[in-house]
Amino acid sequence: MLNIINERIKQGYRTIPFPDGEMPKLPERYRGLPVIDSKKCPEGCAKCVDACPTDAITMDGDMKIDLGRCLFCTDCMDACPEGAIEYTQDFRLATRTREGLVTDGRAFELAHSIDEKSRKIFGRSLQLRQVSAGGCNACEADINVLGTLVFDLGRFGVKIVASPRHADGLIVTGPVTQNMKLALEKTYAATPSPKFVIAVGACAISGGPFVDHDEQNNGVDSILSVDLYIPGCPPHPLTILDGILRLLGRIETNAG
C-alpha cells in the first residue's frame, strides 16, 4: 500500500487544465484543422482532388475541404506539388451544422451553445448514451478515454450512461449500418425529450470511407436530426471534449 501511495505522489496531478490555462500540447504528428492557400494552386491542377479517398475536396473556384468527409490522412497534402494544404495542431473542429464543416481554409464558425433554457436544464449535468452504429471502435475508444483521469469528463457534469432512459441525448459513432439503423431509432425513441444527438467521426457524419455503400446510411443525419458534429477519423479526445463544452456554453464560441 505504501508503494502505491508513493507512486501516486510521484505521478502528481494528472488531469489536464483544459479549457483553462494554456492550450494543450499535442503530439508533433497530430493532424488537426487544415489550412489552405489557394494562391499556391497551379491553374487546372486537381491532384489533391484526385488523391482524396472520400471526395472531401472540391475545386469550384477556391479549394474547399469538407471536414465531415475528411479522414485527415494527408493524401491530399502529399499529392499537392506546391504545398497548398497543411494540417495544423488546432483540435477545435466541432460545429452545430453540417454546412459549417465545409471550409476554404480560412476562419470558420465553431459550435455555438444551446439556447438559454436548455443551458439551465443541461448546462451543469448532461447524461449521454453512446451508440456504436457500425463503428470500427476508434471513435468509441476516444470517447471512452474521456472518462480517464487525464480528461475527467465527469468534472464537467457529463457522463456516459448505460440506458437511453437515463440519458439526455445520444453520442453516435459509425456510419449507421443497415443492421444498426433500427437499433439507433429505438434508442433515440427511448431517450426522453428534450434530447440531443451528437455525431462523432467521419463515419457518423458522412459515411466516412464507406460513403454511398449500400449497407450503410451515410451517417446519422440521414435518420436523426443532429445537434453537434465532431469530425475526425477518429477525432482526438480534446476535439470531442471541446465540442461538448461549446454545446453546453462552457466555452465561448469564436472563430476557428
**Count of positions (residues) in the chain:** 256
Q: Read off the C-alpha cell for 1.
A: 500500500
Give pTM, 2 decimals.
Answer: 0.93
The residue with greater pLDDT, 149 or 7, is 149
Element (H, E) at 172: strand 169-173
Q: Tell me the pLDDT tens digit for each residue of 145-197.
A: 999 999 999 999 999 999 999 999 999 999 999 999 999 999 999 999 999 99
- Per-residue pLDDT at 252 exceeds 80: no
Q: Which fold has domain 116-247?
A: Rossmann fold (3.40.50)
Q: Tell me the pLDDT tens digit for each residue of 45-90.
A: 889 999 999 999 998 778 899 999 999 999 999 999 888 899 999 9
The residue with greater pLDDT, 96 or 253, is 96
79: CB partners within 8 A, 6+ apart: 47, 48, 50, 51
Contact 147, 153 (CB under 8 A): yes
Domain ranges of the chain: 116-247
- CA-based nearest residue to 24, from 127, 151, 125, 190: 151
- Per-residue model confidence (pLDDT) at position 147: 94
What per-residue string of b and e applies to 218-242 under the rule 16 or more CB within 10 Å gives b? bbbbebbebbbbbbbbbbbbbbbbb
- Per-residue pLDDT at 255 exceeds 60: no
150: which strand partners?
none
Cα separation of 6 and 75, whole Å? 47
Helix segments in 149-228, DSSP class H: 178-190, 202-206
- Per-residue pLDDT at 44 exceeds 90: no
- Per-residue model confidence (pLDDT) at position 197: 98
Q: How confident is the model at residue 110 (pLDDT cuts 50, 70, 90)?
A: very high
Q: Mean pLDDT over all residues of the chain?
A: 92
